[in-house]
Amino acid sequence: MLRTSQDEEQSHELTLFAFERLKRQLTQLIENERPGVVEDLSVAVQKGDLRENAEYQDARARLSRLDGRIFGLRERIKNAILIQANVGHSGRVQIGCTVVLSAVGQETTFQILGSQESSPAHGRISYLSPLGAALLAHQVGESITVNLPQGVMTYKIVEIR
């Protein structure tokens, strides 16, 4: 498979929880789903002329998609860099820490993670995002200014956990 520029830009940092979830998904696909699809393919092959056998074509396509998912999961697992949350906490914002920010009189809490786990609506932002990148290496009490789609925003770091 060819890598695209989007693949190369994607970070490989994962929490232990996300890493274990990927391993469970891979095991599920290999041990539970793939044998059934291979069996379907085997049954379809026994039915004769493969050029006009829709069941065979379908099973072959399902196996190809499944093998693609398995390959993708194996690559993500192989390239994963585990985030060690709060290990050696330096008092500065780093990947894996949780940051409490204050802006326009409201406090907001974000966990700084890799792009594969980011979900701003759930308080998880990528260290590659504008806010995440601006926060890295700053300390409690410092203010940062970030250019966001809705405009320029200034945040004060209240707490780092």
Q: Where are the domains of the chain?
A: 5-82, 98-160
pLDDT digits (tens, 9 = 90+) for 32-75: 999 999 999 999 888 877 777 888 999 999 999 999 999 999 99
Q: Which pLDDT score is estimated for 3?
A: 44
Q: Which pLDDT score is estimated for 153?
A: 94
The correct CATH number of 5-82 out of 3.20.20.150, 3.40.190.10, 3.40.50.300, 1.10.287.180 is 1.10.287.180
* CB of 123 closer than 8 Å to CB of 110: yes
For the cut 70, the answer to whether the pLDDT of residue 149 exceeds it is yes
Say which residues have a Cβ less than 8 Å from residue 29's Cβ, sequence separation at least 6: 66, 69, 70, 73
Percent of all residues in the chain with a pLDDT value above 90, rounded to a whole number: 71
Q: Which pLDDT score is estimated for 136?
A: 95
Residue tagged 């060819």 (tokens): 2
Please state whether the predicted TM-score (pTM) of the whole model is above 0.85: no
For the cut 50, the answer to whether the pLDDT of residue 4 exceeds it is no
Residue 89 binned pLDDT confidence (cut-offs 50, 70, 90): low
Residue 8 binned pLDDT confidence (cut-offs 50, 70, 90): very low
Residue 1 binned pLDDT confidence (cut-offs 50, 70, 90): very low
Tell me if 5-82 shares its fold with 98-160: no
Which CATH number is 98-160 given?
3.10.50.30
* Torsion, Cα of 42, 43, 45, 47 (10° steps): 170
Residue 2 binned pLDDT confidence (cut-offs 50, 70, 90): very low
User: What value, to the nearest 5°, has the Cα angle with vertex 82 and ends 81 and 84?
Assistant: 135
Q: Which pLDDT score is estimated for 10?
A: 64
Mean pLDDT value of segment 66-95: 87
